[in-house]
Structure 1
Amino acid sequence: MDLQRNFFIFLFFILSFFLWKEYKKETFIQPEVSKEKMHVSNFINYKDEISNSIRIKTDVLSLKVNMRGGDIVQANLNNYKKDLHSRESFQLLYTKPSFLYHAKSGLIGKDGIDNFSVNERPIYQSNKRTFELEKDKTELRVPIWFLSKKNILYKKTFVFKKGKYDVYMDYDILNLSKKRIEMQLLNELQQNANIPKTQQNKYKQNLMLHTFRGTAYSSIQNKFKKYKFEDIVSNKQLKLKTNSGWIAMVQQYFSTAWIPKEKDIIDYIYTFKSKKNLVNIAYISKKIYVNPNTHKKISSILWIGPEIQDQMRLVAPNLDLTVDYGWLWFISQPLFQLLRCLHFLVGNWGVSIVLITLIIKLLMYPLTRAQYKSMIRMKKVQPKIDIIKEKFSNDKKKLSQEIMRLYQKEKINPFGGCFPVLLQMPIFLALYYMLTSSIELRHAPFLLWILDLSSYDPYYILPILMGLSMFLIQKTSLNDISDPIQKKIMYLMPFIFIFFFLWFPSGLVLYYISSNLITIIQQKLIFNN
């Protein structure tokens, strides 16, 4: 099997994969609303939500909680930068005139104090405007409360742990009235379907780097299921009866999720579109009853932060699946675990990628050796094939039969060279998913100018080196192509690959360069024996 066929197979898979990703790409419908109208009607309480809020700061989170409803309306992740060279921390939850992303919670039903449909919310009280986790403390508790006209005290307490992104939210309901009260807990995530252009990262709009942004949930029926913003905007709403699970909004590297702490408390999970292109996913609990002069405690967990798989796995079953490795998750997950082990040993993600490439190439060496040995035998029998082609040039059927008979006699598998290439494709694509989905590789430096392995090379040096390494493989292989058209195509292949790899993550290009260099060494060893 000659090298040109390998290149064509590889190129075919590359093109097919990214054309498929473009076809599957999420589209967000732009609302036909003027900016003035959107500002007034969509975010009429924008200033109130900022001014009437308390600030909370831990070692990893900086939040604002709107006292009207007790919702988290702003969240910054202190340990993650907005961009590679930015001094600003990454903001996950927003309250802006052009964009809104909130984590909401309330009590609805017969005696509930929240009416989301008409935006009637209780005004909570607090004894402080600013809360901060002290350096020598491991926990911060932030209580807010509301006393209703029916003489029912509602206390909402946010509990933060040092170094943790899972926030506990406890509702304490003290019924001081003379009647039994009834309500349901509603936990909701709300966001605009459209990202404002000012918040979009330009290179992520490239075909090569598209990732999923939308809602997700877990239920009894599904461990993990994504649900597109596009479907919610198009009124293809989800309503799922389940008594356990969680809801989430996910994007590249980060997510928010509401998880009930009590077992079997959920009644159903649903999605809906509210006014002005806001998409929502929520769960409602079963009915909660509180007898006179008694109290009831209801607890939920809000994950708000980076998609750190080990931590998420401990918070809720299947929550770590929000790290979306696509349809090759069964390769990406063990590949990532191996990469983590190597990083633990060497302390550099780029070096870890080089080492994992070496391990993969060593494991595949028997197949690679068989491939090149087949190429050597093919080269030796090529004169005989030329004779057969000349002899049976007018009889296609006889020509094929004679060539196959020759292959059998010489013990040559004409398709043997394809298998190593086909085997490498899932690994290549799994590494792509891993690099664009694992938070650990976001802004991870390698050497010199490569400061972010999850992003493309800003100077395009790695793609050029990759093309040169491909050209070296061509020169050191045993290909003897006589057809001038095929020769031109072969010489064009490195340039074609350079173009496609320009916007690939640097880590992926590094993998391919390492693979090519190891291939050159393996060629020398095999051809000289």
Structure 2
Amino acid sequence: MDSQRSLLVIALAFVSLLLWQAWQTDHAPKPVTPVTEQSTTTSAGSADLQLSSSGTSAQAAAPVATQQVITVSTDVLKVQIDTKGGDIVDLTLPAFTLTKDSDQPYQLMRKLNGFEYVAQSGLLADGPDDKRNSGRPVYSVAQTNYQLANGEQQIVVPLTFNHNGLEIEKRYIFTAGKYDVRVEYLLKNTTAQTKLVQSYQHLVQTIDNGKSSSMMMPIYRGGAFSTSDKRYEKYTFEDMQETNLAQSTKGGWVAMLEHYFVAAWVPEKTADNQLYSLVNNGNGIVGVKGPELTIPAGESLTIASTFYAGPKDQDNLAAIADGLDLTVDYGFLWFISQPLFWLLTLIQGFVSNWGVAIIIITLIVKGVMYPLTKVQYESMAKMRNLKPKIDELQARYKDDRQKMGPAMMELYRKEKVNPMGGCLPMLVQMPIFLALYWVFVESVELRQAPFMLWIQDLSTQDPYYVLPVLFGISMFVMQKLQPMTVTDPMQQKIMLWMPVVFSVFFLWFPSGLVLYWLVSNLISLAQMLYIYRGMEKKGLYTKA
């Protein structure tokens, strides 16, 4: 196999991979029949879990307090909590703007007409959230606005409720500079009987059929979970519509992903938990139930979990729960992407510019790959030198392919040329290129990161398409410098049009990724000229 054909096959494989990923996103199998209303409850031992995203109770009960929304503001979070259920119904991230030129903070969770994305939690069995009891409780609060003052490290937001002698204090504990919030239930049984409680936490999001990704940028939006057996598993809205998730695990977590951001519930790591999913009124629900716990008469109990809502910061996520950092989904090449991301962030720490860091990591990768690149270009040059002899053999044995094969192999052996020499180095390099692709697509650190001049956001496409055009020109020049060994006219035309095709594809790619490919091509050009010049001096290569 000659090198031009290898390049064509690998390039088409790369494009096919992207197209397949886009197809998986856009055309996943849909359920034959929708989940009915009866599917909105699930067994919880002796109790049923009410999964009402609208907060409607199963039986009417007079509220013990006025339903209202309280606001909590820290340096990194602004959260609205509905006193009915104590649910998080709105959450914005002040450190992240909606777009590069916008002053509007990024709204991760919201409850609007026709769409909702909220975080709910409660107590089942003898708790107030069980549908056999009073339904969702309306908590009492001392104030409706909480603000983290300068110098303060924590805000504690207490919500109180008394349910049939079970005194409940639901606490949200916010910490300065952190996106993870500790959620506690402080329970006291003031009755003469034993109380049974079971906590649950889940995320509710409207299933929107609108596509949030392009063909070349398949961006996932949906659920995910982790168990003791599976550190990270996606659970799409289509999966929720087809089958209810039901997993028992020690620890674990559930999450909803939205490109650079994630919301997750992380229960106690040592507890025996149950993960579940449902579809209710067009909303996808993914959650976790804790074990059933008893509270003897006159005794107290504390149940705690962690709620995270913020950017996919791998270090912070890894510290919160095992596998939560894998929501930064690098795909099947994660073991290559993770060290490359570590190196990229290390470089950026010195140069303070992600664009410059991309250029430097490209230099490093191409430098490490130089021995393979040298083998590749030398093999291509040798194959070109052999072309007259190959043409002669093909003419001699054009009617006898059984003899032509051994004759070609003998020629390669005699001239000490490996016909696969130009292909194998490229195959070795492709996983690195693909791994870097996912680093640039998935890393929140590159979101709205400026480079220079007109490139002010490396996570979005080049607004003036300069980088894709320059990439196409560099690819065309590389083709002209490479020895052309492809003889089939159709393949020659395909090779000729490849720079144009890739330039069109790259119009919608993140500018950071196109910058990497452009710099990689320029380095390859320099390496190619250096290698061929050395071979010319030794008489091993002759220009066309």
TM-score, normalised relative to structure 2 = 0.88
Contact residue 8 and residue 495 of structure 2 kept, 8 A: no
For residue 205 of structure 1, give the secondary structure of its aligned residue in structure 2. coil
Distance in 2 (CA, whole Å) between partners of 1:476 and 1:351 is: 28
Note the 1:321-360 alignment, pairs <5 A. 321-360=326-365
Q: Residues 137-161 of structure 1: CA distance to partner in whole angstroms, max 9, x if unpaired? A: 111111111123x232210111111
Distance in 2 (CA, whole Å) between partners of 1:409 and 1:116 is: 83
For residue 146 of structure 1, give the secondary structure of its aligned residue in structure 2. strand
Out of 144, 148, 151, the residue aligned to residue 133 of structure 1 is: 148
AA of the residue aligned to 1:159: I
Paired residue for 1:175? Answer: 189
Paired residue for 1:36? Answer: none
Out of 95, 113, 119, the residue aligned to residue 97 of structure 1 is: 113
Contact residue 248 and residue 255 of structure 1 kept, 8 A: yes
1:241 maps onto 2:248 in alignment? yes
Distance in 2 (CA, whole Å) between partners of 1:463 and 1:7 is: 19
Contact residue 124 and residue 198 of structure 2 kept, 8 A: yes
Aligned residues: 507
Out of 155, 170, 179, the residue aligned to residue 165 of structure 1 is: 179
Contact residue 369 and residue 429 of structure 2 kept, 8 A: no
1:407 maps onto 2:412 in alignment? yes
Contact residue 26 and residue 212 of structure 1 kept, 8 A: no
Name the stretch that deviates more: 212-221 or 321-330: 212-221
Contact residue 3 and residue 474 of structure 1 kept, 8 A: no
Paired residue for 1:255? Answer: 262
Cα 1:517–1:116 change in 2 (3 A) is: farther
Distance in 2 (CA, whole Å) between partners of 1:103 and 1:42 is: 9
Distance in 1 (CA, whole Å) between partners of 2:232 and 2:207 is: 21
Cα 1:114–1:42 change in 2 (3 A) is: closer
Paired residue for 1:222? Answer: 230
Paired residue for 1:5? Answer: 5
The alpha-carbon deviation at position 484 of structure 1 amounts to 5.8
For residue 426 of structure 1, give the secondary structure of its aligned residue in structure 2. helix
Q: Residues 380-406 of structure 1: CA distance to partner in whole angstroms, max 9, x if unpaired? A: 222222221222221112122211110
Distance in 1 (CA, whole Å) between partners of 2:176 and 2:445 is: 20
1:305 maps onto 2:310 in alignment? yes
Contact residue 435 and residue 454 of structure 1 kept, 8 A: yes
Contact residue 193 and residue 296 of structure 2 kept, 8 A: yes
Distance in 2 (CA, whole Å) between partners of 1:229 and 1:298 is: 29
AA of the residue aligned to 2:449: A
Paired residue for 1:68? Answer: 84
AA of the residue aligned to 2:409: M
Paired residue for 2:270? Answer: 264
For residue 216 of structure 1, give the secondary structure of its aligned residue in structure 2. strand
Contact residue 27 and residue 230 of structure 1 kept, 8 A: no
AA of the residue aligned to 2:146: F
Contact residue 377 and residue 531 of structure 2 kept, 8 A: yes
Paired residue for 1:35? Answer: none
Contact residue 466 and residue 509 of structure 1 kept, 8 A: yes
Q: Residues 179-219 of structure 1: CA distance to partner in whole angstroms, max 9, x if unpaired? A: 22111111111111116x6xx7xxx5311111222211111
Contact residue 168 and residue 188 of structure 2 kept, 8 A: yes
Runs of 4+ in 1 over 6 A off after TM superposition: 28-32, 480-483
Contact residue 170 and residue 298 of structure 1 kept, 8 A: yes
Contact residue 114 and residue 122 of structure 1 kept, 8 A: yes
1:212 maps onto 2:217 in alignment? no
Note the 1:184-195 alignment, pairs <5 A. 184-194=198-208
Contact residue 312 and residue 320 of structure 1 kept, 8 A: yes
Cα 1:292–1:483 change in 2 (3 A) is: closer
Q: Residues 113-141 of structure 1: CA distance to partner in whole angstroms, max 9, x if unpaired? A: 01369992111111111001001111111
AA of the residue aligned to 2:206: N
For residue 5 of structure 1, give the secondary structure of its aligned residue in structure 2. helix
Paired residue for 1:37? Answer: none
Out of 367, 388, 396, the residue aligned to residue 401 of structure 2 is: 396
Cα 1:117–1:165 change in 2 (3 A) is: farther
AA of the residue aligned to 1:253: Y
Contact residue 265 and residue 286 of structure 1 kept, 8 A: yes
Paired residue for 1:457? Answer: 462
Contact residue 13 and residue 425 of structure 1 kept, 8 A: no
Distance in 2 (CA, whole Å) between partners of 1:152 and 1:289 is: 12
Contact residue 6 and residue 423 of structure 2 kept, 8 A: yes
Distance in 1 (CA, whole Å) between partners of 2:377 and 2:286 is: 55
For residue 450 of structure 2, give the secondary structure of its aligned residue in structure 1. coil
The alpha-carbon deviation at position 481 of structure 1 amounts to 6.5
Contact residue 213 and residue 219 of structure 2 kept, 8 A: no
The alpha-carbon deviation at position 75 of structure 1 amounts to 0.3
The alpha-carbon deviation at position 450 of structure 1 amounts to 1.4
Paired residue for 1:38? Answer: none
Out of 152, 156, 159, the residue aligned to residue 170 of structure 2 is: 156
AA of the residue aligned to 1:323: V
Distance in 1 (CA, whole Å) between partners of 2:488 and 2:165 is: 91
Q: Residues 88-120 of structure 1: CA distance to partner in whole angstroms, max 9, x if unpaired? A: 1111111111111111110111x1101369992
For residue 208 of structure 1, give the secondary structure of its aligned residue in structure 2. coil
The alpha-carbon deviation at position 433 of structure 1 amounts to 1.4
AA of the residue aligned to 2:139: Y
AA of the residue aligned to 1:325: Y
For residue 215 of structure 1, give the secondary structure of its aligned residue in structure 2. strand
Q: Residues 480-521 of structure 1: CA distance to partner in whole angstroms, max 9, x if unpaired? A: 767765554333221111112111121111111111100111
For residue 177 of structure 2, give the secondary structure of its aligned residue in structure 1. coil
Distance in 1 (CA, whole Å) between partners of 2:2 and 2:364 is: 25
For residue 244 of structure 2, give the secondary structure of its aligned residue in structure 1. coil
Contact residue 166 and residue 304 of structure 1 kept, 8 A: yes
AA of the residue aligned to 2:145: T
For residue 355 of structure 2, give the secondary structure of its aligned residue in structure 1. helix
Give % identity: 40
AA of the residue aligned to 2:272: I
Name the stretch that deviates more: 488-497 or 171-180: 488-497
Contact residue 266 and residue 283 of structure 1 kept, 8 A: no
Out of 382, 387, 390, the residue aligned to residue 387 of structure 2 is: 382
Paired residue for 1:517? Answer: 522
Paired residue for 2:46? Answer: none
TM-score, normalised relative to structure 1 = 0.91
